[in-house]
Amino acid sequence: MDFTGKTIWITGASSGMGKATAIELSKKNLRLIISDRDEKGLINTAAEIKKNGSQARIVVLDMSAQDEITSTANRILSDGKTIHALYQFAGISQRSLVLETPLENDRKIMEVNFFGIITLAKAILPHMIKNGGGQFAVASSLVGKFGFPLRSAYAASKHALHGFFESLLAENYDEGVRVSMIIGGRIQTNISKFALNKEGKEHGKLDDGQANGISPEKAAVQIIKGLKKEKREIPVGGKELNMLKIKRFLPGLAYKLARNIKPT
């Protein structure tokens, strides 16, 4: 993937990995479309992008609103510009046990993390194929590879993304479409703070693991390195990524470690 001169759409761009990735990419002389429901955050991201000499178009977008996603995609595509890549970082997490989580919370998490993501991908895919291909990247998680306490719906949504985008890649590889799944470990973002608790309200706390993780800026460097190489999976984080190897080669141990994680 050569980023120079390309147009790349990034969701979840008002904070965290989405913001950091947009700013890091803006050093490569390209055009960016940045989306989030937080308009103020997008304005701040766009200001940083401008400092690096790239252009940013702000598009306020709620990833839980399917009709809005489709109409927004159609509006952007009607401008006639080629979208070379779509990188999706938008999402919400969870901090509640299976027994105490109402189905409405499960559905809300799936609506944003899965249905919102695939709705936008489906809207952009025909455009990419028509223009000779393109690149999708989606923020998954270590929890997208295995489940552990307090993350049942979040883990389910990330597992679902892997299945969907692996299928999308298999069907459209010969059309020049490429897919990268971003496997995030412990990264200093606010995702735990805004995670849903059992009442469907914000968790309001930054997990210790995330607080001690790598910065979004360091994560962005790892992400872009993987995107440039068009890696199918891009692990991002620190020593916690060893869990991927344990799951692959010692699955029994991986399940045992997951069971022993203390809910906090």
pLDDT digits (tens, 9 = 90+) for 206-233: 888 778 899 999 999 999 999 999 999 9
- Each residue of 109-120: pLDDT tens digit? 999 999 999 999
- What distance in Å separates the CA atoms of residue 219 and residue 234, rounded to the nearest whole number? 10
Domains of the chain plus CATH, in order, are: 7-259 (3.40.50.720)
Check pLDDT > 70 for residue 236.
yes
Q: How far is CA 100 from CA 1, 95, 105, in A?
A: 44, 10, 10
Give the C-alpha separation, 206 to 95, whole Å.
Answer: 11
Report which of 40, 65, 43, 158 is spatially closest to residue 120, judged by C-alpha positions. Answer: 65
pLDDT at position 202 is 87
Q: Quote the pLDDT of residue 263.
A: 56
Q: Could you give the residue numbers annotated as active site?
A: 154
Tell me which H or E stretch contains 105: helix 103-110
Q: How far is it between the farthest Cα atoms of the chain?
A: 53
List of residues 6+ apart from 183 with CB closer than 8 A: 140, 141, 142, 144, 145, 233, 234, 235, 236, 241, 244
The neighbour count for residue 34, using CB atoms within 10 Å, is 28
Measured distance CA(162)–CA(7) in Å, rounded: 25
Task: Quote the CA–CA distance of 168 and 112 in Å, as a whole number.
Answer: 19
Kindly report the average pLDDT of the chain as a whole number. Answer: 95
pLDDT of amino acid 206? 80
* Sheet (strand 31-36) strand order: 55-60, 31-36, 7-11, 85-88, 134-139, 177-184, 233-236
The tokens of 251 are what? Answer: 């699955």
Helix or strand run (H / E) with residue 82: none
Backbone angles phi, psi at 15, to 5 degrees: -160, 175
User: Is the model's pLDDT at 153 over the cut of 80?
Assistant: yes
Beta-carbon neighbour count of residue 189 at 10 Å?
Answer: 24
